[in-house]
Structures are given as C-alpha cells and as structure tokens.
Copies of this chain bind each other. A is one copy, B any other.
Amino acid sequence: MTPRPVDTVISAARDFLGDRISTNNALREQHSRGEDTTTPTLPDAVAFVATTEEVSRLLTLCHAHGVPVTAFGAGTSLEGHVNPVRAGISLDLSRMTAVLEVNAEDMDCLIEPGVTRQQLNDHLRDQGLFFPVDPGSVCTIGGMCATRASGTNAVRYGTIRENVLGLEVVLADGRVIDTGGRTRKAANGYDLTRLMIGSEGTLGIITKVRLRLHGIPEATSAAVCQFPTLAACVETVITTLLSGIPMARIELLDEVQMGACIAYSKLEGFSPTPTLFLEFHGTPASVEEQARAVEAIAADCGGTGFAWATDEQARKKLWQARHDAYWAAIAMRPGARGIATDVCVPISRLAEALLGAKEDIEASGLIAPIVGHVGDGNFHTVILVDPNDPQEFERAWALDKAIVARGLALGGTCSGEHGVGLGKREFLEQEHGAEALAVMRGIKASLDPKGILNPGKMFRN
C-alpha cells in the first residue's frame, strides 16, 4: 500500500523536527480548534517549529505532496481559523518566542511570531517603550498579524496593520520573503506587508514581525462613567471623537456585561448600567485637560459618577476587568460557550447598530452581553450557548446573522477584528461583491497555487 502523502511528509519531517512533529492524540485534540464553537477537526500531526528554516523545509515538503498546513499560535481565534478542516499539519509557532532586536531610538523591534503582547511589553518596559495593540486575550503577535487584530487601544494607536513595519513570510512552496524594511514609510512597490496582514494563514506563514513601538506616555489616567441608556453612551463617544480629544481607549459595556464584570471581577461602587471605560495618555497637564473635557461631555449626555483612577493599581484593576469581559460573560452561564459577533459600523450608525442588536437579543431570549471598542465603531455580542443543545446553537447563529445583517445594511463590516475564518465566509462576498472576491481568489491562486495553506478558510468553495 502506498503511504498517504501526509505520512510521507511526517516521516520526512522527522529528519529535522525529531519528536517536535507528533501524532499524539492529546496534542492533535489541542490543535483541533480555537476558542470558537466550530466542530473540532484533528490534524494528522502537530509540528512545533523553532526556526524559519524549519518552516521553510516543512512547507517545501507539504507543497510537494499537496498536504494542508494550518498555522496555530495561542489558539485564541474566535472564528475557526486554526481548525484544520482538511486535516494535514497543524503548524504550531507558539515556541518561537524570541525578541530578536529592540531599537529604542527607532522605536521598533523584531520578534518571532509566538511572542505575546504581554511578553513583549514586559521586555520593553525598562526602555520606556510599549506595543499598544491589545486584543485583550493572551494571543501571539503572529496570530494578531494573521487576523488583522486590534483591540482597546486602536482608537489612538491604530490596529496591528498600522503597527507592523514588515514581516518575514514563508510562502506555500517554502520560499522566504521579507515584506518590508525598517523605515516608517515607503513607496517602494506593492504593499506585501499589508497583503499578508489579515490573510489568515492562507497566503504564507509569518515567521518574523518587525513592529513599530511607542513611547510609554508620561502620564496615564483612566476613568469610568455610567449612563442611563446605551444611546447616551454612544452620544458621548461621538461628541468626544468630534472634539478631537486623542482618546487612548474608549470602551463600552452594556448593562448585562457590566453586571457580569461587577460579579466576576468584584468591582465596587458601580451599577449594572451602560458604562464607558476611558483612558487618557499624555503629559500630566494634557491628561487632566482631556479627562475634564470628556467629563463635561459625558455630563451633558446624562452620564454620572465620572470616577478617575490615576494610580496604577486602580487602573490595572479596571482594565483587567475589561479584559476579562469575555470570561465574565461566560461565567454568567457555567458550562456555556460564547459565539462572538464582531460587527463594525461607521460611528454615526453605531447607536442604530447597538440598539438594534439589543432588540434582536431580547427577541431571541438568549443571554448575550455587549462590549465594544466604540471609538472605532466596533462592538461584540457574546451569545452564550449550551454546547450540548443543537437547537439553541441554531437560535444563536440566527441571532448572530441578524446582528451582522443589520451591521452590513448600515454600511458596516461583518468583522472589525476577529477575521473571517470559517464563521464569516458567507458574508465576505456580500460585503465585497463577486468581482473583488475574484481578485482575492486570483491572489490566493498566485501565491498558493496548490491551495495547501489553511484551506477552507475565508472563501467558500
């Protein structure tokens, strides 16, 4: 009997990976999906790579034998990106965690893709620098690049797209390219860096990332403000942005999510009402000026209890609560899994999108707290579902689709930051149109003619 192509690859890869390529069942199960609710698929093997050369050699093999390769970082994807739906190799980059260079004068660094935001910021702190993009989960920066992630700081510092100077990428056939240099800007050919960012492992495997860094602001202050209605929250956000106040973070929690956070993170002195979490960066004087300006806007909109937190401990507690919002939501219903929507709309349509989502949630009878990066017009509903109740799953997906459909009708996108993966494929053509999708497919065919890189994702076949 001729061996399966994947067995040929596994056997050949043992030459350079040794026992770092494994068919162990527990490892395969760990690599069968992310934090999503997709049906798990076991890869044929998991490969823990350590160097660009190993990735290149492995891809050369997979390309030669037509074996699928699905990149895996921290496994925090919410859209099924790391689910190896056509089996093959799960390429785990989480052990590539070296910080290779930090150039303080240029405010840039070069890292391996398995480095996490937290790890990088711990490394940078002594040099007065930080990496701002903060999706709130313990994800790898390689994964953030692949999914075009953003998070709470994007309103001020941009998404990962604006904070990557260049990438080292291994192409489907094992060739290695460098997509960018060290300069802050360049007009030197097609923007392969931005093409790779958000390509979700379908065009190449990211093996190094050169990031733009920022100086730690001289002063930081956080504030929380509570509102009688969601509409009042959104009005405060729009007025603040139009005033040109350079918000570092402006995050919304609806009353359900705020209630969950109060319980989960033991926040004291807050009510379960619509709430904004705010952060200001600057000099001590400008931070105070910004906060006072927003306080006045919030008061005009009916906000109350504008509570400041300038000391680091109190700020950390607040933002930890915000970061744990997903887990606080899940904790509302022990044993549940969360289906996260990720609609992003023009700011002027945010109130409609949010209030419409609230109505849909109420009509559905499901529990689905709302949390949002509202400075960017992006919000999430975490729909809590019983993983053993297929009917409830169906109702949850119907709710998800209703919220996305309204977002699209309001000029928005199905995904502000989580990506397409498996879960949002059906919306992609609706958003871009058949011709733009054909261009994307043409690019995919040009870079990965055998379709071995994360097959089944982004496009419906």
| A binding-site residues for B, Cβ under 8 Å | 103-108, 128, 147-150, 154, 158-159, 161-162, 171, 175-179, 181-192, 194-195, 197-199, 203, 214-218, 238, 241-244, 246, 282-283, 285-286, 289, 342, 344-348, 376-378, 411-420, 424, 427-428, 431-433, 435-437, 439-440, 442-447, 458
Contact = CB atoms under 8 A, between A and B. Distances in A.
A413 B458 contact: no
A416 B185 contact: yes
Contacts of A181: 411-413, 431
Contacts of A431: 181, 188-189
Contacts of A412: 181-183
A175 B433 CA distance: 11
Contacts of A286: 282-283, 285-286, 289
Contact of A191 (B178, B197, B433): B197
B186 A416 contact: yes
Contacts of A346: 103, 105-106, 108, 182-183
A194 B190 CA distance: 8
B190 A443 contact: yes
Contact of A177 (B161, B191, B435): B435
A198 B195 CA distance: 12
What is the total number of copies of this protein in its complex?
2
A416 B171 contact: no
A107 B242 contact: yes
A184 B348 contact: no
A184 B217 contact: no
Given A177-B435, A195-B194, A442-B447, A344 B289 contact: no
Given A177-B436, A197-B191, A344 B446 contact: no
A170 to B, nearest CB: 10
Contact of A188 (B178, B195, B420): B420
A181 B412 CA distance: 7
A105 B347 contact: yes
Contact of A175 (B106, B216, B289, B435): B435
Contact of A443 (B418, B419, B443): B443
A184 B289 contact: no
A309 B105 CA distance: 30
Contact of A283 (B162, B199, B289): B289
A434 to B, nearest CB: 9
Contacts of A416: 183, 185-187
